[in-house]
Structure 1
Amino acid sequence: MTISMFLDPVRPWRVLIAGAGAIGCTLAARLAAAGHTVDLLARGRTLQTLREQGLVLDDLDGRWHSPVRAIAHVDERQNEHGNEPAPDLVLLCSKSQDLPALAEQVQPCLGPGTLIVPLVNGVPFWFFHGAGGRFDGQTVQAVDPQGRLAQALPLDQVLGAVVFVTAESTGAGRVRSRTPHLLMLGEPAGGLSPRLQALCEMFAQAGIEARPQERLRDTLWTKLIANLTSNPLSVVTRATLQAIYSDPVLLETVRAVMHETMLVASAYGARLSIDPIEFLQLGAGMGAVRTSMLQDFERDRPLELAAIGDAVVELAERYALPMPATRTLLSQTRWHAARRAERRLAEPATA
Structure 2
Amino acid sequence: MNTSTQRVCIVGAGAIGCTLAARLVRGGQPVSVLARGETLTALSSDGIHLTDLEGEHHARVTASDRCDVFGEQDLVFICTKAPALAGLLPTLAPLISERTVVVPVVNGVPWWYFHGVQGRFAGRRVEAVDPDGALSRALDLERVLGCVVFITAETVSPGVVTSRNPHLMILGEPSDRMTERLEQVRALIERAGIEARATDRIRDQLWTKIIANLTSNPLSVLTGATLEELYGKTELKTVVAKILQETLLTAAAYGARINFDPLTFMELGAGMGAVRTSMLQDYQSGRPLELAAIGDAVIELAGHQGLAMPITRDILALARFCSARTHIH
Alignment of 1:293-332 (within 5 A): 293-332=279-318
On the 8 A contact 1:56/1:173 being kept in 2, the answer is yes
Larger C-alpha radius of gyration, 1 or 2? 1
Aligned partners of 1:191, 1:334: CA distance in 2, in Å? 38
Aligned partners of 1:54, 1:286: CA distance in 2, in Å? 28
Matched, 1:22 2:8: no
Instruction: Find 1:201's aligned residue among 162, 178, 187.
Output: 187
Aligned partners of 2:26, 2:5: CA distance in 1, in Å? 11
1:195: Cα distance to partner?
0.9
Q: Partner residue of 1:65?
A: 58
Q: Partner residue of 1:335?
A: 321
Matched, 1:116 2:109: no
Matched, 1:269 2:255: yes
Aligned partners of 1:238, 1:34: CA distance in 2, in Å? 36
1:252: Cα distance to partner?
2.7
Aligned partners of 1:64, 1:249: CA distance in 2, in Å? 39
On the 8 A contact 2:204/2:258 being kept in 1, the answer is yes
Instruction: Find 1:33's aligned residue among 1, 21, 26.
Output: 26
Q: Partner residue of 2:49?
A: 56
Aligned partners of 2:5, 2:114: CA distance in 1, in Å? 33
Aligned partners of 1:329, 1:62: CA distance in 2, in Å? 38
Aligned partners of 1:26, 1:66: CA distance in 2, in Å? 10
Matched, 1:185 2:178: no
Q: Decide which moves more: 37-46 or 27-36.
A: 27-36
Report sequence identity in percent: 52
Aligned partners of 2:48, 2:228: CA distance in 1, in Å? 32
Instruction: Find 2:79's aligned residue among 72, 83, 93.
Output: 93
Aligned partners of 1:48, 1:315: CA distance in 2, in Å? 41
1:163: Cα distance to partner?
0.7
Name the amino acid aligned to 1:256.
Answer: K
On the 8 A contact 1:20/1:46 being kept in 2, the answer is yes
Name the amino acid aligned to 1:335.
Answer: F
Instruction: Find 1:42's aligned residue among 28, 35, 44.
Output: 35
Matched, 1:239 2:225: yes
Aligned partners of 2:143, 2:43: CA distance in 1, in Å? 29
Q: Partner residue of 1:148?
A: 134
Aligned partners of 1:109, 1:295: CA distance in 2, in Å? 30
Aligned partners of 1:31, 1:215: CA distance in 2, in Å? 25
The alpha-carbon distance between structure 1 residues 295 and 149, as it changes in their structure 2 partners (threshold 3 A), is same
Q: Partner residue of 1:137?
A: 123
Matched, 1:76 2:69: yes
Q: Decide which moves more: 29-38 or 210-219.
A: 29-38
TM-score normalized by the length of structure 1 = 0.90
Q: What are the ranges of 5 or more consecutive residues in structure 2 without an aligned counterpart?
A: none
1:126: Cα distance to partner?
0.7
On the 8 A contact 1:12/1:36 being kept in 2, the answer is no
The one-character-per-residue Cα deviations of 1:224-264 (angstroms, maximum 9, x if unpaired) are: 11111111111112222222222333233212211111111
Name the amino acid aligned to 2:80.
Answer: S
